[in-house]
Amino acid sequence: MGKLDLITIILIAANALISYKGFNDYSFFEKYKLHVGSINRGEQIRLVSSGFLHANTQHLLFNMLSLYFFADAVIASLGTVKFLIVYFVSLVLGSLLSVYFHKSEYHYSAVGASGAVSGIIYSAILLHPGMSLYMYFIPIPIPAYIFGVGYLLYSIYGMKNRLGNIGHDAHFGGAVGGYLITLILSPWLFSTNLLMVILLAIPILILFVLRKMGKM
């Protein structure tokens, strides 16, 4: 994926340090995780802070590897400031949709950078539809859009089965955030990459329909 950008290193380091603090400090984890009841009482910081906590090391590694694979492609096309806009808008929208989906569940909680990472994945694929990933355990290049769609399919599975203390709903919100913000920042994509714009809308629509049908 080329040279790792400084802002990507900073975000990965922040996620790792804050997550490991949460692994070893229960009160810290409880204070900053996404918790519907606490957010309803006005603790809005949790909408952002929960995006830097993770349920376990595996959860952290999965999100940070995904960020590593896609972040620099977005930075190269949009620049650091717009990249950060995509990252944090996706994070917050993912958190807000989690709260909305679980607004009647006072004790619902979740953590993870899933919303932000989903947004970056969708942004990168929109900007670079021909991008491929090279993973050490798979000897052939993988089209990035396959990874992106698979990431959301994992979200569907996680949302349906309530896997861990993980914000799987945030994958949906983050994907929507990254998709919309990238199209707003780069409207030329409608003429140059229209097929990918349509393709990436499909899993978002599927998630939305399943949610509305009460299947999730």
Over residues 98-135, the pLDDT tens digits come to 898 888 899 989 899 989 998 999 999 899 988 887 76
Cβ atoms < 10 Å from Cβ of 205:
9
Please, what are the domains in the chain? 6-212 (1.20.1540.10)
What mean pLDDT is predicted for residues 36-47? 95
DSSP 3-state of 142: strand
Interacting residues of 101 by C-beta distance below 8 A, sequence separation 6+: 169, 211
Q: How confident is the model at residue 1 (pLDDT cuts 50, 70, 90)?
A: very low
Distance from C-alpha of 21 to C-alpha of 13, rounded to nearest angstrom: 12
User: What pLDDT, on a 0 to 100 scale, did the predictor assign at position 167?
Assistant: 59
Q: For the residues 17-40, what does the mean pLDDT come to?
A: 96
More confident residue, 60 or 171: 60
What is the three-class DSSP state of 45?
Answer: coil
- Report the pLDDT averaged over residues 76-92: 96
Residue 27 Cα distances to 32, 33, 61, 135, angstroms: 9, 10, 23, 37
Q: What are phi and psi of 46, to 5 degrees?
A: -65, -25
Confidence of residue 153 (pLDDT cuts 50, 70, 90): confident
User: Does 81 score more than 90 pLDDT?
Assistant: yes
Query: What pLDDT does residue 215 have?
Result: 59
What pLDDT score does 2 carry? 46
Q: Find out whether 121 and 94 touch, Cβ atoms under 8 Å.
A: no
Q: Do 72 and 3 touch, CB atoms closer than 8 A?
A: yes
Cα distance between residue 195 and residue 181, in whole Å? 18
pLDDT (average), residues 15-43: 96
pLDDT for 174: 92
Averaged pLDDT, 206-213: 74
Question: What is d(CA 117, CA 66) in angstroms, rounded to the nearest whole number?
Answer: 7
The mean pLDDT of the chain is 87
| pLDDT classification of 52: cutoffs 50, 70, 90 | very high
Report pLDDT for 159.
Answer: 67
Predicted confidence at residue 27, as pLDDT, reads 97
